[in-house]
Chain A
Amino acid sequence: MTTINEHIMPPYYYYVDPDTTYQAQMPNPLDDLISVYGLQDLSNQVARTNQDGTRAIKLRKSYKNQIQDLSGKFATIPTRENGKGGEISHILFQNNPDMIPQIRREPGMTDEQYGAAVTDRDRALFESPDMNWDVCKAVLSQFERSYPSEFQGQGFQVDDLAFDLDGTGKMNSKKRKVKSNGSSMATPNSDVQEDVKRRRLD
């Protein structure tokens, strides 16, 4: 049969050039790529629905947990929702050369020289004229001693400063640290299956 095929089969039909070879896409999108790349556990953790189709518990916002190890007493976590967090300023992610004087590495400049130039430029930020410490002193001295009720009703609470004035915050944070030390950086396969209620991506 194959011999007949070779006899009667024309080289190719229509516009399809049999000589051109096409490589199948790698990886094959028909495959279960999640398992191919070993992401099942992860996807299970972040899935929106459970395997039985019920709605999965929402990913826990672990913001509070993340800042727990900082000194400071965050009675209220500054978040977008309560209006105290706000966005990260876009300016931080821009590679804007104008933000800071650029140091050109002149030909013939040694590494030490270049490093010193960069250091000088950075230090200049904290020195006059960029930063006039006398002015700062003057301004701060203008501030009189505050009294507790001074900022009432003006959208400011002392708690927002997160100063650990009475020292309790430290205690808490220490306690928490002990408790959450391991799980904070836990690997996905640690104890996720049992902790269904407080699902989170640790």
Chain B
Amino acid sequence: MTAEPNYVEMHGENGSSTTTATTATAAANDNIGSDNSKKGQISNGITDDSKMAVETAGAKDMDPTASPPPPIPHVEINQVPFSLVMRNLTVFTIKEVSQFMKTNVHVNPTEPSTTKKLQFLHMIIFLRNQYLKIYVLVKWCRTIKNNNFHMMIDLLNWFRITNVIVNNCIWAIKASLAGMANAKLPNVDLVTALEVLSLGRPNLPTHQLKLSGEGNDLYQLSGGMVKVPPKVVLQKLKDMNLSISIKIAMMEVPDAFRNYSFRNGRIYIFVPEEYEIQLATTDYRAPLFFVDMNFLFRKQSLPLDKLKLEKVINEILFKSVKPLVALNKFLRKYVLTLKLYMIYLELVELEESGKFSGGHLAHRYDSKRSIISIRYWLHSKMGRTSKITIGVDRRTENLILKWDNELALQSKRMPVAYTDILDNLESILDEIMFNHSHIIRANLLSKGVFFEDEENLDVLLFQIPTTCISMAPIQLKIDLISGVFYFKNPTPLLLSYVSQINRAENADELINVLQRLKRDKISQVLRNMFEKTGWVCSKVIKLDHPIATQVNTTEPVNNNELVPLPTSLLQDDLFIRLPNWPANWYLILTVVSSNASCVVEKRIGKIVSNKGHWKLSYLGNSNVTSAKLESMTYQKVLYLQKTILHRIVNHMIIDSLNQLKISNKISTSEMLSSLPDYVVHGARQDKARDSIQDNNHENDYTSIIILELESFLGGSKALNNILESSMFMHIDYYNSEISLFGKFKRDTTMIKCKCDELLIHFVPGESLAFYLTEKFTNLNMIVDYLVKFRQKLMQLVILTDVVERLHKNFASDDFKIVALKPNEISFKYLKNSNDSQDCTISIVSNEQMVENLTVQLSPSNPQHIVQPFIDNGHMDYHFIFNYLQFTSSLFSVLENIIKQQTMSGSYTMVSLGLHNVCEYQLVYHNPEAGTKITLIIELKNVSHNGTKKVQFYIHFSDEEHISTKSLAYPLVHQVRNQVFMLDPKESPASSSKNKKYQGAIRLVDGISCDPTNIEPILLEIHDILRMDSNVQVNSSTSTNGMQQQTPSAARIPTAS
């Protein structure tokens, strides 16, 4: 690397000349930028002076092509010759290398040579790079030189120096300011100071010069200044008058400026009601300039920035081709804007601290479009739509206030545009609001709901009822400032409606609100009436839908959507009850009020709250009474109190019936005639003490409800063919009696049985009609009575059923029901029974059906012996009844036989044995003779001529064979021959007897017969067998003996 022959200067401070170059570039750019901005300012032209200054400066300096530019001092500080740099680098390099060699000459065995080599290499590269950089730097410097870049650097440096100078100047001024702190200059007039500095004279508007020529010394002032002589002053002013008049004469003067005069060296232009402006000029060639200005439309001084105004006006005068026209245009706009601003100030004051404070008035000041829009009556819905706009009228170019209200426009009597706004704003607003209130009032009056108060025209009168029959007006007024409605002498109810009234957006809504008020007032009146007479009004009940009234029933209600009532009709439902009424039952008063009249409908309903949600569970829509409000009197309310209870009960019963799903219909008075007499007059028919006068209250105190039998019994058809399908429920409130009437379809045996526990009474004179009756104490329990009745009826069904069957089974004259209880029947069926009852049946039943019958035979009943079989046999009671009836004759004869034998005192003992219910044995046992004869009586099913019949089958036991040698044989033989043969010729004497055994059939070893023949047959056999066989042995067995016995045998049946 070799040193450059050129002597290059370097910036040692920065180290790298690259850096210097970029900095210079930046500085140059900055310079360009600042220059441009300066140019922009000049073209904008703020003041005459600055422009002038620039022009002169430009004229003086600018001619770069003509003369060479002034030299710029070359940057010389902090520069090192390149030779020194190169020398330094060389020395530095050699020293470094030498140092490295010296420190590494001694070998350190622990240190590997690699580290040393690495250090050496690093050093070499470092040093090489130092040379490299210097080399590059040198080349760069050459480039810079070639490109005139050093000039750029010098220029930057020059800028820097200039900047420092200006800064120093500013600091110096600041220092002098600080130094003047004690001088008695209250306000440092830097502006004037700079004016003096730049113009050589002050440019003060007042020209604080003492122009007066008075004083001792005419021309000398203290301080060596010369006074101005008065003549000179006067002359100057005259000159100025002249020059300005010449100038004005040459100018185009706008019409607005026609009113002017020349005085005091200026022109006074007078624009009425707006301003007076004074202009002057120094020379007819010079432009006009601003002297002073006053605004005429406002007494008070305005916070006006005259200095700024002066600048702007001067600029207009200087720049414009037609200065006065431009000035007029400008001032016109300026005055309008100023006026608008003052109106704005006035508005702000009115809103914040004046009449309309409290947010009744709001405005928007759009200074760009020069429009103020005002909204008033912000709290009034109805008046809120109106707007007031203040702006510049396009036609006259004057400020105008417009009231944007269609009705006011239509009326044509009310002013909607005002021009003289300033200082009048409050009264204009007052007038507008007054007019607006009148519009609203007129609008409301036109609806025909209100009346005018002749004494006080601001007031609207609205009639609301104070009682059912009297009305009183309420007074509605509009507050002029806030635009809201208010009542005079308000009540709490009225107060609660004031806000609603004020929410109304138009007259119809308002009237609607008032109608609601009226309706609520009516409700209040009614509620009051009822509460005073001991009723209780529920305030908590709220239904989802109002009750469909007769007035609006034509309105279709679709999809649960509430179709609003026509606005003229308003409805309110009152839920009223007496304290002693059944729970959840209410008298529902539906108040339907219209503009003109009001109707009150009375219904009875049941309202149940389910999880806080009120639901109408029952509504009596029949028998709705509707009355005019005027007809509601205390007498009626009191009368209602007395008479309404049974209606409630009716409804309650109907509701209960509905809940039980029992078809029902309440009888109306027209129906009464078609009802059976006993039903109409009820159970009292058989109560002789009832006097005729009670009949007057009949309709009020009784009610008759028709029930359908099948649904009453809960769908059971059990009684369908027993009772008529309609039943009548008769409720006698006077006597607190509830009766249920029914009628048998046909005469049944049941009718003849009296059962007190069933509470069933038969209507005298009506063989088939019966009734159940109960005294009621609590109406809430009415359902219980129904349930009880139903239970009784069911029992009646069961009893009837059982009794019918008994009658069928024991179809004989001996059958007789002895006692009838709801679940127990005692009866007799035996022929010659002396018992009080032969059998008792206990009925085990569920609600509708006979589940089981327990048959209990009387202990003295001959059939009592089968009781265990009945108890254990799980037999069908049909079978049991048939069996009992079938075997009744058998058992009575058996009982007779045993009784006879035990009483006779013979050796032969007779015992009765039962194998099962259809096989019995009669054992004749003679312990003396050692004989035992077993006679077996069996019940057998026999097919005879195609019909099945049960027959007795009497024969001797097969098991014990009685040999011919046995003592008993003759007896057996005799039975076989005499009884079993059924041969009339065998014994002519008994032929008549044999005839009696009709239907008895002779079998191989026995006889078959039916119940009618069982008694004589068995008696005949017994006659034979009861003979003691040993006695027979002792005497000879002869047919004679037998014959002797016959009369006695024949005697027995006659004895019984």
A residues near B, CB below 8 A? 1, 4, 7-8, 10-11, 13-14, 16, 18, 24-39, 42-43, 46-49, 59, 63, 66-67, 70, 78, 84-96, 99-100, 125-126, 130-132, 135-136, 138-139, 142-144, 146, 150-151, 154, 156, 160-162, 185, 187-188, 201-202
Contact = CB atoms under 8 A, between A and B. Distances in A.
B60 A24 contact: yes
Given A42-B149, A160-B125, A34 B32 contact: yes
B155 A66 contact: no
A86 B116 contact: no
Contacts of A36: 64, 69
Given A66-B136, A93-B80, A135-B102, A26 B70 contact: yes
A177 to B, nearest CB: 14
Contacts of B117: 143, 146, 150-151
B754 interface: no
Contacts of B139: 66
A130 B97 CA distance: 10
Contact of A151 (B32, B100, B118, B152): B118
B105 A139 contact: yes
B88 A142 contact: no
B151 interface: yes
Nearest to B64: A36
B162 A25 contact: yes
Contacts of B16: 88
Contacts of A42: 28, 147-149, 152
A91 B90 CA distance: 11
B34 to A, nearest CB: 9
B364 to A, nearest CB: 39
Contacts of B25: 43, 46-48
Contact of A142 (B32, B97, B113, B126): B113
Interface stretch (B196-204, B338-346, B664-672): B196-204
A124 to B, nearest CB: 10
B152 A78 contact: no
B19 to A, nearest CB: 11
B134 A185 contact: no
Given A34-B31, A43-B28, A142-B107, A84 B125 contact: yes
Q: Top 8 nearest A-B pairs by Cβ distance?
A: A93-B12, A46-B25, A26-B70, A28-B61, A66-B136, A92-B88, A36-B69, A10-B225
B21 A136 contact: no
Interface in B266-292: 283
B148 A100 contact: no
Contact of B94 (A8, A85, A125, A202): A125
Nearest to B117: A143
A92 B130 contact: yes
A87 B15 contact: yes
A9 to B, nearest CB: 8
B545 to A, nearest CB: 73
A99 B91 contact: yes
B92 interface: yes
B134 to A, nearest CB: 7
Contacts of A126: 94
A91 B149 contact: no
A29 B114 contact: no
B148 A38 contact: yes
Contact of A143 (B15, B31, B113): B113
A8 B57 CA distance: 28
Interface in B659-715: none
Contacts of A25: 162
A93 B114 contact: no
Chain B residues touching A, range: 35 or more
B133 interface: yes
B201 A185 contact: no
B628 interface: no
A95 to B, nearest CB: 6
Contacts of B90: 125
A8 B84 contact: no
Nearest to A126: B94
Contacts of A27: 61, 69-70, 72, 158
Contacts of B84: 95
22 contacts: A24-B57, A24-B60, A27-B69, A29-B159, A33-B31, A33-B35, A33-B69, A66-B140, A67-B132, A78-B125, A89-B130, A90-B15, A92-B134, A95-B80, A96-B88, A142-B113, A150-B114, A151-B118, A185-B146, A187-B146, A201-B147, A202-B143
Contacts of B202: 13
Contact of B21 (A13, A70, A86, A201): A201
B228 interface: yes
Given A29-B159, A93-B12, A151 B147 contact: no
A136 B96 CA distance: 12
A156 B121 contact: yes
Nearest to B211: A8
A25 B159 CA distance: 12
B232 A70 contact: no
B105 A59 contact: no
A30 B35 contact: yes
Nearest to B15: A88
A8 B92 CA distance: 77
B38 A8 contact: no
B1009 to A, nearest CB: 139
Nearest to B96: A89
B101 A139 contact: yes
B1033 interface: no
B553 interface: no
A132 B102 contact: yes
Given A31-B62, A135-B105, A8 B232 contact: yes
B1038 to A, nearest CB: 161
A31 B72 CA distance: 14
B26 interface: yes
B121 A151 contact: yes
B10 interface: yes
Contact of A31 (B61, B196, B228): B61
B1054 to A, nearest CB: 153
Given A88-B130, A99-B91, A143-B116, A67 B98 contact: no
B3 to A, nearest CB: 13
Given A33-B69, A92-B134, 4 more contacts: A13-B196, A131-B98, A136-B101, A202-B143
Nearest to B144: A201
B142 interface: yes
Contact of A89 (B92, B132, B148, B232): B92
Contacts of B136: 63, 66-67
Nearest to B12: A93
A84 to B, nearest CB: 7
Given A38-B148, A142-B113, A48 B26 contact: yes
Interface in B411-439: none
Interface in B969-1023: none
A139 B97 CA distance: 11
A138 B126 CA distance: 22
Given A10-B226, A92-B92, A156-B118, A39 B113 contact: no
B114 A99 contact: no
A146 B28 CA distance: 54
A43 B105 contact: no
A114 to B, nearest CB: 16
A70 B88 contact: no
B89 interface: yes
B122 interface: yes
B29 interface: yes
Interface string B215-228: 00000000011101
Interface string B76-89: 00001000110111
Nearest to B92: A91
A93 B8 CA distance: 13
Given A37-B69, A93-B80, A130-B98, A143 B120 contact: yes
A107 to B, nearest CB: 25
B60 A78 contact: no
B943 interface: no
